[in-house]
């Protein structure tokens, strides 16, 4: 057992390319995902037409500031504003026409015209929410003297970094788990050492288990680096629950993934085939997990399918551990489900590769 572990570690660390790739996936990749994927408005160009010329307008406009918005630009009339939007010089246009000003002053429902270029749909959508918030604030301000603070239940600006980096980490663990575990077996096939491996007077089950364990340990080390350096280090993500629960669920998840990897290893002859199969299997796993799209937004059938994805429980448990601070007892359903899936997948994979032993 220790002989196999030592051998697999040596083989892993001597493959400099692979080590660099794994390190990249566990650090830079997560960092870039956290930093880069933003659905909050950033430097949105804004233009406005002011036909009423009252102080309120300037006050409203003054709320559109950096870093979300560029300095708002004043246009002479609606036509020139529309042209600017058409030419992509301006993304959002707000028209304060005479009717709006009159209604505003007389206390009637004031209708504001907002023109928005929604090519970048998500960005536009969120920008709209921003504008609504700003205007809402003023509506209340004008009618009642007491200022009402709008409590933001969901603050996208602060949360995406945490959410995205964790989602990316889960996806990376899925991908690397599949590849690393399948490759320890397929490498033996590719190098022609498979028979030599089988000739060791050791039970096949022990070889399979030791090989998987070696890669699971590498994954755990990678997770530690990712969580320590990027999640806690660079992004300062708070953890409200117990980190050991996170390790436990990661460990269970690795074995569930290991089961799938064994199936891949059993049917692939070359490392290239492993790469192909990994992508084909990984994408549905990630789509069905709620990593990128909330499960509640999916069709009931897809939601049903997601119950079979080991990644679903992993992600939900992880988010609960980090953000909600759930304790072990609260997490028990996730642990249970993950364990069950791990056992089933591992059994299938073990049977499949076991036939080659």
- Kindly tell me which of 16 and 55 has the beta carbon lying closer to another protein: 16
Name the one range near another protein by CB under 8 A: 158-166, 174-182, 195-203, 231-239: 195-203
The binder of another protein chosen from 191, 236, 296, 299 (CB under 8 A): 191
Half-sphere exposure of 261 (CA within 13 A, CB side): 30
What is the b/e burial string over 251-272, where b = at least 16 CB atoms within 10 angstroms of the residue's CB? bbbbbbbbbbbbbbbbebeeee
- Kindly tell me which of 17 and 300 has the beta carbon lying closer to another protein: 17
201 scored as a contact of another protein (CB under 8 A) = yes
Total of residues contacting another protein (CB under 8 A): 20
Name the one range near another protein by CB under 8 A: 25-33, 105-113, 192-200, 345-353: 192-200
C-beta of 198: minimal distance to another protein in Å?
6
Name the one range near another protein by CB under 8 A: 8-16, 62-70, 141-149, 225-233: 8-16
Judge whether 56 and 138 are in contact, CB under 8 Å: yes
State the first-to-last Cα distance of the chain, in angstroms, to the nearest integer: 17
270 scored as a contact of another protein (CB under 8 A) = no
How many other C-beta atoms lie within 10 A of the C-beta of residue 82? Answer: 17
Closest CA to 64 of 103, 96, 101: 96
Q: What is the DSSP string of 166-230?
A: HHHHHHHHHHHHHHHHHHHHHHHHHTT-HHHHHTSSS-HHHHHHHHHHHHHHHHHHHHHHIIIII
The binder of another protein chosen from 203, 276, 324, 351 (CB under 8 A): 203
Judge whether 29 and 168 are in contact, CB under 8 Å: yes
The binder of another protein chosen from 23, 54, 202, 217 (CB under 8 A): 202
The binder of another protein chosen from 146, 153, 199, 297 (CB under 8 A): 199
Residue ranges binding another protein (CB under 8 A): 2-4, 6-7, 10-11, 14-15, 191-193, 195-196, 198-203
């Amino acid at each position: 057992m220790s002989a196999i572990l030592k051998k697999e570690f040596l083989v892993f660390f001597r493959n400099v390319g692979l080590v660099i790739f794994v390190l990249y996936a566990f650090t830079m990749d997560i960092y870039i995902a956290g930093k880069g994927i933003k659905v909050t408005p950033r430097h949105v160009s804004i233009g406005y037409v002011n036909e009423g010329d009252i102080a309120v307008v300037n006050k409203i406009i003054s709320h559109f500031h950096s870093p979300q918005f560029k300095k708002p630009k004043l246009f002479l009339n609606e036509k020139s504003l529309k042209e600017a939007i058409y030419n992509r010089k301006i993304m959002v246009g707000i028209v304060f026409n005479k009717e709006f000003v009159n209604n505003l002053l007389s206390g009637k429902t004031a209708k504001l015209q907002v023109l928005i270029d929604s090519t970048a749909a998500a960005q536009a959508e969120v920008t709209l929410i921003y504008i609504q918030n700003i205007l809402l604030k003023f509506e209340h301000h004008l009618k009642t003297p007491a200022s009402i603070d709008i409590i933001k239940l969901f603050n996208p600006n602060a949360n995406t970094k945490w959410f995205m980096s964790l989602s990316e980490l889960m996806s990376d663990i899925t991908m690397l788990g599949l590849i690393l575990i399948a490759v320890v077996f397929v490498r033996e096939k590719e190098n022609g050492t498979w028979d030599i491996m089988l000739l060791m007077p050791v039970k096949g089950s022990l070889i399979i288990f030791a090989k998987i364990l070696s890669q699971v340990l590498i994954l755990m080390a990678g997770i530690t680096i990712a969580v320590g350096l990027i999640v806690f280090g660079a992004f300062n993500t708070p953890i409200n629950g117990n980190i050991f629960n996170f390790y436990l669920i990661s460990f269970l998840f690795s074995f569930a993934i290991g089961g799938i990897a064994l199936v891949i290893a059993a049917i692939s002859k070359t490392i290239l085939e492993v790469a192909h199969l990994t992508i084909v299997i990984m994408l549905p796993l990630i789509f069905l997990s709620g990593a990128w799209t909330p499960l509640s937004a999916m069709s009931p059938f897809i939601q049903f399918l997601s119950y079979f994805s080991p990644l679903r429980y992993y992600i939900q448990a992880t988010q609960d551990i980090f953000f909600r601070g759930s304790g072990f007892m609260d997490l028990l359903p996730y642990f249970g489900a993950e364990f069950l899936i791990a056992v089933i997948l591992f059994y299938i994979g073990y049977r499949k590769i076991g036939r080659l032993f």
